[in-house]
Structure 1
Amino acid sequence: MLRTQINQSKNNIFQVSKKPWPCNVHGISAPWALVWSRPLIQRKLKVKRGSVGWRYNNIKAVAVTEAEKKSVKVRVTVTVQLTGGVFSQSIISRGLDDITDLIGKSIKLELVSSDLDPKTGQEKKTIKGYVRKTAQKQEEVKYETEFEVPTSFGEVGAILVENEHHKEMYLKDVVLDGVITGPLRISCNSWIHSKYDNPSKRVFFTHKSFLPSETPEGLKWLREEELVQLRGNGHGERKSYERIYDYDVYNDLGDPDKSDDLKRPVLGGKKNPYPRRCRTGRPRCHKDPASEKRSSSVYIPRDEAFSDVKGQANHTKELYSLLHDLLPDLQTLIDESDEFLVFSRIDDLFKEGDNLPSLKEKDFLKALFLRLIRAILKTEQNFLRFDTPSPMDRDRFFWLSDEEFGRQTLAGLNPCCLQLVTEWPLKSKLDAEVFGCPKSAITTEIVEREIRGFCNIDEAIKQKKLFVLDYHDLLLPFVEQVRQLEGTTLYGSRTLFFLTPDDTLRPLAIELARPLKDRKEQCKRVFTPCWHSTGLWLWRLAKAHVLAHDTGYHQLVSHWLRTHCCTEPYVIATNRHLSAMHPIYRLLHPHFRYTMEINALAREGLINADGTIESSFTPKKYSMLLSSVVYDKQWQFDLQALPADLIHRGMAVKDPNAPHGLKLTIEDYPYANDGLLLWDAIKQWVTDYVNHYYADPNQVESDKELQAWWEEIRTVGHGDKKDEPWWPVLNTKQDLVEIITTIVWITSGHHAAVNFGQYNYAGYFPNRPTIARTDMPKEDPSDPEWKLFMEKPEVALLKCFPSQIQAIKVMSVLGILSNHSPDEEYLGQTIEPSWEDDPIVKAAFEVFSGKLKELEGIIDGRNTDRKLRNRSDAGVVPYELLKPSSGPGVTGKGVPYSISI
């Protein structure tokens, strides 16, 4: 049969010549048909550009041949996960949805062709239909239908979904059986809003990945429109069902409307530079228009939230319950200043003893309520029954050892702050006119006395034997402000270490400094290891102060700032500029899962005004401001790469003949040894992946989505540092590999190293106190504190340690944060559907996975090598924080894909 002749008239309407035979044109039976042009359609139907579906709502009527009438039956199976939402709603709305399920009008699907219509040059009309509920199991519901798909439809490139329930639903996947190319499974794993909340349809692309320039013609408009929707318009308060990604400053940490004491400075901007967080659009505070009102929940794009599908949601709920319910109640029972009177009461916190400390019970009702709480916790919940941390289980007195103090700087909770000493004497870089003499009080005589028999100071520096943990310049400007707060104190600190012949670090001296009243001089005191009683206890108190500084820096910088906080702009930019079908989006997506959810929870109860950090860590209300100073003065994207970080700190030098191209300054440096193997494996996997999709070297520079992504990360997400010269350029495949490897390392390896050892190393808080509450005692017989120290030095140390409520808060939180869920997704174990469907990418992933299994064996071998004293010795916990896999619970090992807890 001959094709009909199509002509165009002056009024911009295509006309089809009449023929004596009838034809069916996309469902319109007529001897002839009209094909409307887009301009006229938009005028007639008033379709607004910017809403997904504006194009395929056009009426496209064309005459077809007999061959084009042929079709195949495609069976469609939709799997919906049983979660909150549509299956846990009110009786009335649930009844309505049961009716729509019964009549088969609850979920509408549309198939989208990858091809354009060859006759019109426009997108083909979608194939629409409802799926009908056919089966329900314990955890999921199946919906099915059959579509008649013309053979001329071409390859299915995407599906559109409309949820006609009254509540959202969690769509797991859609499977098409019978398409010409073979069974097609589209993984969704996404919340689908109700059409009654938002009439826009959801789009899901197939597993095939495309660079923007390679996008099939029939999908280009859909790719662009989806990104437009995800960006939003920057206005209005966000709703819980929305998926809009936008930026804002940290202006919601305080609560000035509740109390003037809870007002906090805005983080982000010229005054206090900071990364950006997700915009919520909440109203501004009455007392401080610069601050955003707090609410009972914080908006995040819907698919960034933990779903009931994920076991990790249970940990998040535990943390939420702990922060919002249990700890506030306990705080009413326990005075903030109540300290542990003897060390045995600290031991009673663990499961072999009582699970709550003894309290100063001031009245009958308080005592009665306390006993009730104890009874409930012992029989029904497990929040405050603490497991014994591994180091304490191996050696009850591990925390007292100077060797363990040095070992943990290389293989503990914060192994990324030690620096090589390259100049002597140690000097401050602060303004001498403001902070006094910059020269350290740790003199050559002190050092040479401590290292006698090894070498002198010049030889020690030349041989790279001296290392420093230096928080002097960071903390000193905060000392006066913090000291005005109740229940805490602060010094600027330096701790000097000496590298012994067996590659262990021996602490030599601790310097604690504070400005005097005129701020032009400092009070500087130096403490050294000692054998006699007075010097020994002063040394222990000095260590408690340094450990509080290191613990605060770990939590605020190494953990929060470098991983959680700095990653959020990457998540936002990725969703705003990289289509879900972009290969780099699909490479990064598993590394961003649930990060925004845990960050939002942190803003609710951990880093907020009077939250766990402020109430339990040394800087108190200045904690977040301190992290802003570190971001402003120290953070650089290029130094987040492990090799660059090691070189910057003097812990390694470039050496083309050494493994990884680096020679470590300390050979037995567990964090660096294991980390570099993991870094190399990640980089090779990223290199293979990038090379596969960017065959032409010029494709990186011409990739408009990729370039917009990197531009927005630098100029908006980290906009306060947009003019820094150290930002990498993104012109070549090598540039892209380095950038992606750095992001993947931070979200997986670095986060694992500073997170999953928290309970093991800080659960027994004398090992890593979060706060030092008292000053170092002065050698003055008339001073009551000195008298107490001389008579009962153990009590003086306990008074310096965290109080009972502070210890309980931190231990409870760390127990949850260190916990792996039963269904944790570990690096290299779980393959993404889009990776699995591409044979070349799948093969590269299998190589990556094999390298990680090999790394596990290497780590096990290192931990049994008696020559490696920093990871294998009597009572020493082996270093496993970068061991890729783990079981559930607090294991001290395992590297998940993402920052999800």
Structure 2
Amino acid sequence: MVETAGCCGLLQACCHRHNPQKYIIQGEFEIDRSPWSSLYASGLSVVVRLYSQDNMDPTTRKGIESENAYVMKGKELERKKREVLSMKVPTKVIKFKLKFEVTRDFGIPGAFVVENRYKKHEFFLKSFHFYCGSWVYPITKIGFKRIFFSDQLYLPKKMPESLVELRKKRTLETASPKTEGPVLGGSTKFPYLRRLKTGHPNCQHNHSRESGPASCFQFHVPPDERISDEKLQELKNNFVEALIRFLTPESTLPHLWDRECPDFVTKVAHFFVPKAAISKKDVRFIRSIIDFCRKLKLPSSHGGPSRSDPSEEQDIFEDIIGFYADKEVEELDYSDKQQIEKLVPKEILNQVVATLALKRHDVSAQLPSIIAEDKFAWAEDKEFGRQMLGGSNPVRIWNLNWWLKEEDLLLLEKFFEKMLDYDFESPKDGVQEVLKEKQYNRQKFQDLIKALGNERVFILDYHYLEQFLSMINGKGVCDYATRTVLIAPDSSSEMVQPVGIELSLPGGSTRLVVPQETPLWEFAKFHVASNDTAYHQLVSHWLQTHAVVEPFIIATRRQLSVMHPIHRLLDPHFKDTLHINALARAIFLNAGGILETLLFTGEYSMELSSHLYKEWRFDKQALPEDLLERGMAKPGVRDEVVSGPMEHVERDKSSNKAAKGAEQEMFEVDAEMELVLEDYPYAKDGIEIWTAIETWVTEYCNVFYRNDNDVKEDEEIQEWWNEIKTRGHQDRKEGWYDINTFKSLVKALTTLIWITSGLHIAVNFGQYGYGGWPLNRPMLLRKFLPRDDEFMEEMLPDKFQMNLAIAVMDLLSRHTSDEVYLDSIQALVPDTSKSMRPTSKENGKHHPENTDINERGIPNSISI
């Protein structure tokens, strides 16, 4: 890299012979993914200067500087332009050779500064001496020169003195964590986390609020946080294909079952299209249809009844409804198109129309996993309970003993009383049937009391909704606030089943407890599923993963130098998140947007998210803490997982592990836990992933921190943590601990990485598998429970809403081609990395048609 020979071809303002008292340093300047116009405009407009890592200028307190070098000038610029123009296919990477004249005592370069003097164009700098991977914008736009450091990582106090001043100046182009408006955040009424500044001007009619972007794809995201053009197009294509699959008219060809069983076809069709007329005698149509379908099932691997014609292999539901069957696509229904225009970005809608114009005939969909193996399992109580533990929202169920508060005891007593004395309506066989039902219910009650003593009673609580229902209900929405009690009857049973559901309306005017095996039971489960789906979308998924991470990303970019080892550790886990969040706010969470249209919470959706942010605590986001808090695990005893370096302990440099023996100062939850339910997939699989992450973080941090004092004296980490607590999450005062020990640093980093990887995959990639079948996860209901023989017409969402919901679930559950998975972190220790590989297949580069859309592994970051 260093030359001593003279040279007259230096790329400086004027050409001269090489000074023999100086050295020549040369390197290759790689530009990638950049607009052609920015390359044409190079030359004197792009200036580069090196800084020494070894020696410092006593005047500037910076490393010794080189002379300026220019990317291109004069004849070389003209030659490069001709090369570019002559290319038939534009190359992605263009390389320029730079030479710098430095003093003999310059030493090794430790940093360089790039100044883009052009007024309009940016370029993507891939590398120069070392990998850069960043956009360089005109200095007139960002107001500062871009500083790049070598790949060497340093804690602040270990930084070479010659680079300290440059490190202090080094910041990426990120905005301050400012709110988008006064509605959410900065108040006790509507607390919320801070997020990326949008850059939009105030609304003309209301200067206290910011206006929206002209296009949902035109909003401010720092250049280095933007999704690649290829991925953005892939996301658009996925959305277009999902809309075509589920919102275009199905084939008009007559189905086989139309001829064989027209009455059955009518019943199922009416079930999916509630506006159709069904006679009053079909008030209990859900159970009757399911029973009828069971009689027609094909033989399965575990036995069971079969259809009259077992040779016919076409699926019943694919045949009748056509949701998942191949379609002949021609055009959108006019009314559907009008509704889509209000919800879907114009760019997407235009692409849908253009695709339909091609007269494609190969649009088909993969069956959601909830009906792929057994078309009717979703309606079973045992499956309802299983999904609370391993479905798309497995993070809300509580052990009843841990959930109970003093003020809940009276409610629980009334709940049990109503379980026992339920007033059954219109008994078919008179008194005898009533007595039989009550005797059955007493047995259920006794089972519940026994399970309660064994700490095997659980609750799914959405009672908080009651205070919002007076605003929510109306305009086609009829919803209750629900509480569901579930039991695992004895210690040998891991099967959790619901036994009673409480449905309430505001003011306590209606508080109905529906026991299992009663006429209203199936309808009550729909209301529970609707409550759970809204909580999943607004809280478990959006708030507790996407949103809460955003202040951490902003603080990392603002407070941690790229040379800081923790910046390097966290960077893969922040990939694409800021841009994805911006897209979510522009398309799904915006006023009148997709989620407000689909969820029963409607225009109050984000207000509910704000209300539930009051419960969020960072310390409870650690998986062990979360499981203990909800009573789903009990603390056990084992050796420490986190064994950090201690003062005066000689470190084993071959393994980068410190000797054990640290006192148990905090985080006792690191001890091995005993799960209350062994068959709790979220907890059981999650603990393995958590342990692998924690082990990796511990060993990584051990390389840089020798004792607790190193953590206390790390000024960048302290400023990072302070900004997160006091600015990013300033509306949440509880749940924060000081990062002043090695163990506390490891705990915070492990928790953050867990949120971006394990927690996010648990609540995101199962959305289509469970929500792709609307009956399993209805997003809103349009009727309260029926009275007597009242017909339950229009209970479910209309067909457009159901189809759009399926399309959205399909989109959100898909991995993209540039996804990076957790087990691709090469430094993961071999013994623990095996537990993170079961579903990863060649890092996602396998044939998608051979696997379920969510069976690709655990992505590093929240990038969809």
Q: Which bin holds the TM-score, normalised by the shorter protein?
A: 0.7 to 0.9
Q: CA deviation at 1:617?
A: 0.2
Q: Does 1:571 align with 2:516?
A: no
Report matched runs for 1:516-665 at 5 Å.
519=507, 521-530=508-517, 535-536=518-519, 538-632=520-614, 634-657=615-638, 661-665=672-676
What is the CA deviation profile of residues 318-359 of structure 1, one whole-angstrom value per residue up to 9, with x for unaligned ones? 4787999999999xxxxxx97575977983222335679997
Q: CA deviation at 1:802?
A: 2.1
Contact 1:319 1:813 in 2 (8 A): no
Residues 82 and 708 of structure 1, relative CA distance in 2, 3 Å threshold: closer
Contact 2:402 2:630 in 1 (8 A): no
Contact 1:569 1:718 in 2 (8 A): yes
Taking the aligned partners of 2:151 and 2:861, their CA distance within structure 1 comes to 21
After TM superposition, the structure 1 stretch with the greater mean CA deviation from structure 2, 373-382 or 558-567, is: 373-382
Q: Does 1:499 align with 2:488?
A: yes
Residues 440 and 106 of structure 1, relative CA distance in 2, 3 Å threshold: same
Residues 385 and 612 of structure 1, relative CA distance in 2, 3 Å threshold: farther
Q: Does 1:200 align with 2:144?
A: yes
Gaps of 5+ in 2: 1-7, 9-18, 85-89, 250-271, 278-316, 341-348, 423-438, 640-669
Report matched runs for 1:53-72 at 5 Å.
70-72=21-23
Match of 2:224 among 290, 293, 303: 303
Aligned length: 708
Match of 2:477 among 469, 480, 488: 488
Taking the aligned partners of 1:667 and 1:775, their CA distance within structure 2 comes to 36
Residues 440 and 363 of structure 1, relative CA distance in 2, 3 Å threshold: closer
Q: Does 1:728 align with 2:737?
A: yes
Taking the aligned partners of 2:551 and 2:132, their CA distance within structure 1 comes to 24
Q: Residue in 1 aligned with 2:854?
A: 891
Taking the aligned partners of 1:363 and 1:192, their CA distance within structure 2 comes to 41
Q: Which residue type is aligned with residue 270 of structure 1?
A: T
Contact 2:326 2:362 in 1 (8 A): no
Q: Which residue type is aligned with residue 727 of structure 1?
A: W
Q: CA deviation at 1:681?
A: 0.6
Q: Residue in 2 aligned with 1:477?
A: 467
Q: CA deviation at 1:573?
A: 1.1
RMSD of aligned Cα (Å):
3.9
Q: CA deviation at 1:459?
A: 2.5
SS in 2 for 1:897: coil
Q: Which residue type is aligned with residue 48 of structure 2?
A: L
Contact 1:856 1:884 in 2 (8 A): no
Residues 224 and 373 of structure 1, relative CA distance in 2, 3 Å threshold: closer
Q: CA deviation at 1:460?
A: 1.2
Contact 1:564 1:595 in 2 (8 A): yes
Taking the aligned partners of 2:320 and 2:597, their CA distance within structure 1 comes to 19
Q: Residue in 2 aligned with 1:33?
A: none
Contact 2:29 2:128 in 1 (8 A): yes
Q: Residue in 2 aligned with 1:220?
A: 164
Q: Residue in 2 aligned with 1:834?
A: none
SS in 1 for 2:68: strand
What is the CA deviation profile of residues 876-897 of structure 1, one whole-angstrom value per residue up to 9, with x for unaligned ones? xxxx699996857523442111
What is the CA deviation profile of residues 690-747 of structure 1, one whole-angstrom value per residue up to 9, with x for unaligned ones? 221111321211211111111111111111123x2x3111111111111111111001
Match of 1:244 among 168, 171, 174: 174
Match of 2:200 among 279, 282, 292: 282
Taking the aligned partners of 1:338 and 1:771, their CA distance within structure 2 comes to 14
SS in 2 for 1:894: coil
Q: CA deviation at 1:827?
A: 0.9
What is the CA deviation profile of residues 642-674 of structure 1, one whole-angstrom value per residue up to 9, with x for unaligned ones? 000000110001001599610000011111111
SS in 2 for 1:494: strand
Q: CA deviation at 1:406?
A: 1.1
Q: CA deviation at 1:456?
A: 4.2
Contact 1:660 1:680 in 2 (8 A): no
Q: Residue in 2 aligned with 1:182?
A: none
Q: Residue in 1 aligned with 2:26?
A: 75
Taking the aligned partners of 2:530 and 2:231, their CA distance within structure 1 comes to 30
Match of 2:95 among 138, 142, 146: 142
Report matched runs for 1:810-889 at 5 Å.
810-830=805-825, 845-847=827-829, 851-857=832-838, 887=846
Taking the aligned partners of 1:383 and 1:813, their CA distance within structure 2 comes to 20
Contact 1:410 1:670 in 2 (8 A): yes
What is the CA deviation profile of residues 804-863 of structure 1, one whole-angstrom value per residue up to 9, with x for unaligned ones? 2222322222222111112211113055xxxxxxxxxxxxx1416x62334435xxxxxx
Q: Which residue type is aligned with residue 820 of structure 1?
A: H
Taking the aligned partners of 1:340 and 1:673, their CA distance within structure 2 comes to 44
Q: Residue in 1 aligned with 2:499?
A: 508
Report matched runs for 1:40-439 at 5 Å.
70-83=21-34, 86-87=35-36, 94=37, 99-100=40-41, 104-105=43-44, 107-117=46-56, 122-123=61-62, 124-132=64-72, 138-164=91-117, 167-176=120-129, 186-195=130-139, 197-198=141-142, 200-227=144-171, 230=172, 243-251=173-181, 265-296=183-214, 297-308=218-229, 311-318=230-237, 341=276, 347-353=321-327, 376-377=355-356, 379=358, 385-422=364-401, 439=414
Taking the aligned partners of 1:384 and 1:441, their CA distance within structure 2 comes to 51
SS in 1 for 2:607: helix
Q: CA deviation at 1:226?
A: 2.1
Q: Residue in 2 aligned with 1:842?
A: none
SS in 2 for 1:171: strand
Residues 564 and 346 of structure 1, relative CA distance in 2, 3 Å threshold: farther
Residues 294 and 589 of structure 1, relative CA distance in 2, 3 Å threshold: same
Contact 2:116 2:139 in 1 (8 A): yes
Q: Residue in 2 aligned with 1:65?
A: none
Q: CA deviation at 1:752?
A: 0.8
What is the CA deviation profile of residues 740-763 of structure 1, one whole-angstrom value per residue up to 9, with x for unaligned ones? 111110011100111111111111
Q: CA deviation at 1:598?
A: 1.0
Taking the aligned partners of 1:685 and 1:582, their CA distance within structure 2 comes to 17
Taking the aligned partners of 1:645 and 1:498, their CA distance within structure 2 comes to 20
Residues 778 and 278 of structure 1, relative CA distance in 2, 3 Å threshold: same
Q: CA deviation at 1:427?
A: 7.8
Contact 1:752 1:882 in 2 (8 A): no
Q: Residue in 1 aligned with 2:436?
A: none
Match of 1:694 among 676, 680, 705: 705
Q: Which residue type is aligned with residue 633 of structure 2?
A: A
Q: CA deviation at 1:803?
A: 1.7
Q: CA deviation at 1:290?
A: 2.8
Q: Which residue type is aligned with residue 301 of structure 1?
A: P
Contact 2:225 2:579 in 1 (8 A): yes
Taking the aligned partners of 2:383 and 2:396, their CA distance within structure 1 comes to 16
Taking the aligned partners of 1:392 and 1:451, their CA distance within structure 2 comes to 34
SS in 1 for 2:512: strand
Q: Residue in 2 aligned with 1:761?
A: 770
Q: CA deviation at 1:99?
A: 4.9
Tell me the TM-score normalized by structure 2: 0.74
Contact 1:886 1:894 in 2 (8 A): no
Residues 166 and 453 of structure 1, relative CA distance in 2, 3 Å threshold: closer
Q: CA deviation at 1:125?
A: 2.1
SS in 1 for 2:65: coil
Contact 2:184 2:192 in 1 (8 A): no
Residues 189 and 493 of structure 1, relative CA distance in 2, 3 Å threshold: same
Report matched runs for 1:709-728 at 5 Å.
709-722=720-733, 724=734, 726-728=735-737
SS in 1 for 2:69: strand
